[in-house]
């Protein structure tokens, strides 16, 4: 089973603090690395963590508030200066392309690599990408400007053949592909042999839902139901619920309530307002409604997986 992790590069809302950078996360699946949002300073954080950035071929930008994308043009420029050749796929709101192209034009830069842009919409959930390993679905979020989250799901694996059983029942080799896809087998005498006797279930599909900036949204659980890990913003504590509503952000309690309704495996919260300097308050508030809970910490890497499996390791 390939390793599936998320590394937090920045967890501060709106402006950086001494401890927390602006929004960005790395999703790693085996050798593949995907960047989620790219606040100012992301390239410095990638350098600090010695990330092999040449492996980043997909970047997903949730929305055009500066704390989520002002670092993108710098990263794109640095790759150009390093002579990158591999095309880069960017998924984000339509205006992002215009902003990037204007800045490249101003510096008369003809990039050394191809930049392939895919515009997102936030009207309805849709499959928007296949990274080879992961299927990516956009998640409409409720924010002041058009914003999408992203749900990354492993491709479902075929079932595994139990060779001893298929030999015993004399299943022809030509039927193996259909067995892997879950079909039952009927032999020449009309006896039905159930697929479960002949194959083993593949590991459960793991998934990561990235919900960057959003007000409490009761449509959200339906889209991310049963995800292995949910990242949900928690800009404020409940004491500022009114402000959260006005600014279309969430409280720690609201994030945990969404995780609970969505039956998420694990909840990670981040995007903390710079006014707070004690993340434990967020933990205490959220854990009243949901656990297991993770507090996003810059530079930390978290495994995405079944909690029972993880604790067994």
Q: Are strands 293-295 and 266-270 parallel, antiparallel or unpaired?
A: parallel
213 binds a copy of itself (CB under 8 A): no
16 binds a copy of itself (CB under 8 A): yes
Stretch that binds a copy of itself, among 97-105, 154-162, 261-269, 298-306 (CB under 8 A): 97-105
Torsion angle (degrees, nearest 10) of CA 79, 83, 89, 91 = 30
Among 5, 32, 53, 78, binds a copy of itself (CB under 8 A): 78
| Per-residue tokens: 271 | 């995007």
Q: How far apart are CA 255 and CA 311, in angstroms?
A: 24
145 binds a copy of itself (CB under 8 A): yes
Smallest gap from Cβ 23 to a copy of itself, in A, equals 12
Assign residue 37 a region: left if phi > 0, alpha if psi is -120 to 50, beta otherwise? left
Is 67 part of the annotated catalytic residue set?
A: yes
| Per-residue tokens: 226 | 């049963």
Among 2, 3, 48, 168, binds a copy of itself (CB under 8 A): 48
Cis peptide before 223 (omega within 30 of 0): no
What does each C-alpha distance from 231 to 151, 159, 176 come to in angstroms? 10, 29, 39
Size of the site for a copy of itself (CB under 8 A): 36
117 binds a copy of itself (CB under 8 A): no
Stretch that binds a copy of itself, among 104-112, 149-157, 190-198, 233-241 (CB under 8 A): 104-112
- Tally Cβ neighbours within 10 Å of residue 130: 10
Smallest gap from Cβ 38 to a copy of itself, in A, equals 11
Q: How far apart are CA 125 and CA 132, in angstroms?
A: 20
Among 52, 83, 85, 108, binds a copy of itself (CB under 8 A): 108
- The backbone torsions φ and ψ at residue 52, rounded to the nearest 5 degrees and listed phi first, read -80, 85
Stretch that binds a copy of itself, among 75-83, 167-175, 192-200, 285-293 (CB under 8 A): 75-83
Smallest gap from Cβ 81 to a copy of itself, in A, equals 5
At a CB cut-off of 8 Å and minimum separation 6, what does 274 contact? 12, 13, 14, 15, 16, 17, 20
Q: Among all residues, which ones are annotated catalytic?
A: 67
Return residues touching a copy of itself (CB under 8 A): 14-16, 18, 22, 40-41, 43-44, 47-48, 64-67, 70-71, 73-74, 77-78, 81-82, 93, 95-96, 98-99, 102-103, 105-108, 144-145
């Amino acid at each position: 089973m390939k390793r599936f992790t998320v590394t937090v590069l920045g967890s501060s809302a709106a402006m950086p603090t001494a401890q927390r950078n602006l929004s960005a996360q790395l999703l790693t699946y085996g050798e593949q690395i995907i960047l989620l949002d790219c606040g100012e300073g992301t390239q410095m954080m990638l350098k600090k963590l010695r990330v092999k950035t040449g492996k980043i071929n997909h970047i997903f930008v949730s929305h055009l508030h500066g704390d989520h994308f002002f670092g993108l043009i710098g990263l794109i420029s640095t790759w150009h200066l390093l002579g990158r050749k591999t095309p880069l796929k960017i998924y984000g709101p339509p205006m992002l392309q215009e902003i990037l192209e204007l800045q490249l034009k101003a510096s008369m830069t003809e990039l050394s690599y191809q930049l392939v842009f895919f515009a997102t919409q936030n009207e309805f959930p849709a499959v928007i990408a296949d990274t080879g390993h992961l299927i990516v679905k956009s998640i409409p979020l409720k924010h002041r400007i058009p914003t999408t989250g992203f749900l990354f799901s492993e491709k479902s694996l075929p079932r595994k053949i139990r060779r001893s059983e298929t030999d015993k029942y004399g299943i022809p080799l030509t039927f193996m592909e259909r067995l892997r896809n879950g079909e039952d087998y009927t032999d020449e005498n009309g006896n039905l042999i159930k697929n479960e006797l002949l194959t083993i279930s593949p590991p459960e599909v793991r998934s990561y839902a990235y919900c960057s900036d959003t007000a409490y949204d009761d449509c959200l659980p339906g889209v991310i139901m049963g995800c292995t890990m949910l990242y949900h913003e928690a800009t404020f504590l409940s004491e500022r619920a009114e402000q959260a509503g006005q600014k279309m952000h969430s409280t720690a309690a609201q994030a945990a309530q969404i995780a609970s309704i969505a039956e998420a495996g694990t909840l990670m919260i981040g995007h903390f307002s710079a006014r707070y300097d004690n993340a434990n308050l967020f933990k205490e508030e959220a854990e009243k409604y949901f656990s297991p809970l993770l507090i996003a910490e810059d530079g930390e890497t978290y495994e995405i997986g079944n909690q029972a499996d993880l604790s067994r390791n």
